[in-house]
Amino acid sequence: MYRAQLTRATCLRILRITLVFVGMFRAMRLPARPAHGLVLAAAAVAIVGLVPSTAREAVTARHAMAARDAVAAWHAAAGREAVAPRATPSSDPNRTALLTTIDALDNTSHQVDMQTAYSQIQASIDPRSRTGTLTDRQGASEFDEIVANHRVWVRVNIDPQTNAQLGIAPSTWMSLDMTKLPPPNELPIPVDGSDPVDMPGILAGVTAVYRTSSDLFTGTIDLRKITGHNRPNAGRVARAGVTATEAPFSAVIDDRGRLTDFSINADSFDPALNVHVWFHSYGVIMSLPVPSGSVPAPDAIYTILSG
């Protein structure tokens, strides 16, 4: 689940997100366009989340099994195999309940970690004050963003050679002139400090939902129907065929009905399409370190972040 394009031009244009980018950047090849993910700047520094702990892995395994079992049961009841289910009607109470689990992301401060096969993202978001911080890592490369008071700062570190080509210093925050970067653009956190994961876009692909227990939803998701900036790699989805139209997912909620753990399990057809997101620390007051001594971003950064 990623997007990225590299450039041959002097400003090294990079669009979309998440590739194995350092070697491609140095070779200056234009790769086939993938799709998905929180946008990483400057050389496709992709989606970030903390490496799951042993406890998280245990939870992931348990819910992945539950999702697979639920999907298998659905197929058995429907008398079919490997056939994409019809879209779940909007009136489905289970679907409605699932969608309400993300309401808190629009009105409550929280932290989020997201992991894919390629990269990790870690962010703190306060939608009430419209502020947020994000760190996106892929290997030794890193993209950082801070949003506060409708101002945006970024910091980019790819590798010494590419940093020099872009005219950036990896330890220096760069302020963005948002009149030069109108939407749609490739900022992971929008200027209004809203959800960088884009859970509504991910849940747009849900085709069947089951309330497995009071704190667990399972079901299927059509990877082709995911919208927004975390869409799956179109080429990988196409190669997966019909199996990509009914990937198992699981969603865990807390005792207040807020989403805490969401995963898509593509192990049966392409593990590179797996995604795992953790939401936590709801309501915790975040400390926002607004950069001091920042410099204006060079033109190359605007080229990289343009939509």
Q: Which residues of the chain are under the pLDDT cut of 70?
A: 1-90, 307
Quote the distance between the C-alpha of residue 44 and its chain's center: 13
Give the Cα separation of 33 and 233 in Å (integer): 8
Residue 33 resides in a domain = no
Strand, helix or coil for residue 75: helix
Verdict on whether the full-model pTM lies above 0.95? no
pLDDT of amino acid 229? 81
Query: Are 38 and 55 contacting, i.e. CB atoms less than 8 angstroms apart?
Result: no
- Please tell me the predicted confidence (pLDDT) of residue 80: 33
Report the domain count for the chain.
Answer: 1
Tell me the pLDDT tens digit for each residue of 75-106: 333 333 333 344 444 579 999 999 999 999 99
Q: Look up the domain containing 221 and give its range.
A: 54-105+197-280
Predicted confidence at residue 119, as pLDDT, reads 85
In angstroms, rounded to a whole number, what is the distance separating the alpha carbons of residues 58 and 211? 20
DSSP H stretches of helix in the chain: 21-27, 54-78, 93-100, 160-166, 199-203, 234-240, 299-305
Asked if residue 287 is part of any domain, the answer here is: no
CA triplet 171, 176, 177: central angle to 5 degrees? 155
Closest C-alpha to 44, from 22, 67, 29, 70: 22
Determine, yes or no, domain membership for 219: yes
Q: How far, in Å, CA of 198 to CA of 202, rounded? A: 7
Query: What pLDDT score does 73 carry?
Result: 41
What number of CA atoms fall less than 13 Å from residue 255's CA on the CB side? 0
Q: What is the largest CA-CA distance in the chain?
A: 64
Q: What is the per-residue pLDDT across 191-250, written as a single tens digit (0 to 9) for each? A: 888 889 999 999 999 999 999 999 999 999 999 999 988 889 999 999 999 999 999 999
What pLDDT shows up at residue 45? 32
Question: Which residues, in sequence order, are CB contacts of 68 under 8 Å at separation 6+?
Answer: 248, 265
Distance of CA 279 to the CA centre of its chain: 12
Task: State the Cα–Cα distance between residues 282 and 253, nearest whole angstrom.
Answer: 12
12: CB partners within 8 A, 6+ apart: 6, 25, 42, 43, 162, 165, 166, 300, 303, 304
165 Cβ partners below 8 Å, 6+ apart? 12
- Cβ contact 226:201 at 8 Å: yes
pLDDT at 116: 87
pLDDT value at residue 24: 29
pLDDT at 72: 43
Report the C-alpha gap between 174 and 298 in whole angstroms: 8
Whole-angstrom distance, CA of residue 298 vs CA of residue 194: 25
Sign of CA dihedral 163, 35, 152, 51: negative
97-119 per-residue burial string, b: 16 or more CB within 10 A, e: under 16: ebbebbebbeebbbbbbbbbbbb
